[in-house]
């Protein structure tokens, strides 16, 4: 979806899939649905595996981290009540750290996607649009 695309296209209800059109008109090969081909390609499998390989472990990590806080609060209240400075105790710092980790995970994901997902995605795009499949 490019920036130059007319936004007024919202109103159109077009169901003509690109997949129904021949790609690379001069090609004499039998017509293959480039979508199905791209979907089963190794490139797409790489893209999918990389994404899953990142998203699922990361989700497990941050859920564990949130629940750790709750568990500590429930079963180690004395630890959470240790004063660090003035009125500020461990529990409060732990709570505020949740914000920091949330932002940190988002930052790591953005970097990961820019470095490892976008290049594969671009290759698939070039292949589909270039009519390789």
Partner 1 sequence: MGRELSTGVPDRTDFYVTVAAMVMIALWTTLAGLYGARARSTSDFLWASRTVGPRWNAAAVSGEYLSAASFLGIAGLVFKGGVDALWYPVGFTAGYLALLLFVAAPLRRSGAYTLPDFAELRLGSARLRKICTAFVIIIGWLYLVPQLQGAGLTVHAVTEAPQWVGAAVVMVIVTFNIYTGWTHSITLVQAFQYWIKLTALAIPVFVLLIHYAGEDPGFRNSLSASAPPSFSQATDVTPDHDVVLHVTKPMRVMVVGTPDGRPTKGTMPLAPGENRVAKGTTLHFDAGSRVPVISGAVVDNDTWLCPLSRGQRSLLATYSLIVALLLGTMGLPQVLGRYYTDPDGRAARRTTQLVLALLGLFYLLPMASGWLARLYLPRLLVDGNTDAALLLLPRAALGGWPALLLGGLIAAGAFAAFVSAATALVVCVAGGLSTDVLPSRLQDFRAATLVAWSVPLAFVLAVSPLDLAQGVGLAFAVAASSFCPLLVLGIWWRGLTDTGAAAGILAGGGLAFAAVLPAAVGVLPPGWQAVLAQPAAFTVPLAFLTMVVVSRRTRDRVPTDVSRILLRLHAPDRLGLSEDREVGQLGTRIWRAAAALSRIRGGRHRR
Sequence-ordered list of residues with C-beta below 8 angstroms from that of 43, at least 6 positions apart, any chain:
120, 123, 124, 127
User: Rule CB under 8 A: which of 77-96 touch partner 1?
Assistant: 77, 80-81, 83, 86-87, 89, 91-92, 94-96
| Interface with partner 1, residue 74, by CB under 8 A | yes
Residues 71, 76, 79: CA angle, nearest 5 degrees: 125
Binding residue for partner 1, selected from 26, 67, 132, 133, defined by CB under 8 A: 67
User: Rule CB under 8 A: which of 4-63 touch partner 1?
Assistant: 5, 7-19, 33, 35-36, 38-40, 44, 47-48, 51, 55, 58-59, 62
Give CA–CA dist 84/95, Å, rounded. Answer: 14
Rounded alpha-carbon distances, angstroms, from residue 13 to 10, 17, 22: 8, 12, 21
Nearer to partner 1, 29 or 99 (CB): 99
Nearest approach in angstroms of CB 63 to partner 1 is: 8
């Amino acid at each position: 979806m490019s920036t130059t695309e007319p936004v007024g296209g919202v109103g159109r209800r077009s169901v003509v899939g690109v997949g129904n059109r021949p790609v690379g008109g001069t090609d004499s090969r039998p017509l293959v649905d480039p979508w199905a081909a791209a979907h089963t390609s190794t490139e797409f499998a790489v893209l999918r595996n990389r994404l899953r390989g990142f998203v699922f472990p990361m989700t497990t990590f941050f859920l564990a981290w949130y629940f750790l806080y709750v568990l500590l609060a429930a079963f180690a209240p004395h630890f959470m009540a240790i004063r660090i400075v003035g009125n500020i105790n461990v529990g409060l710092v732990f709570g505020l750290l949740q914000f920091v980790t949330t932002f940190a995970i988002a930052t790591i994901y953005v970097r990961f996607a820019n470095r490892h997902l976008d290049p594969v995605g671009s290759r698939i795009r070039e292949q589909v649009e270039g009519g390789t499949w």
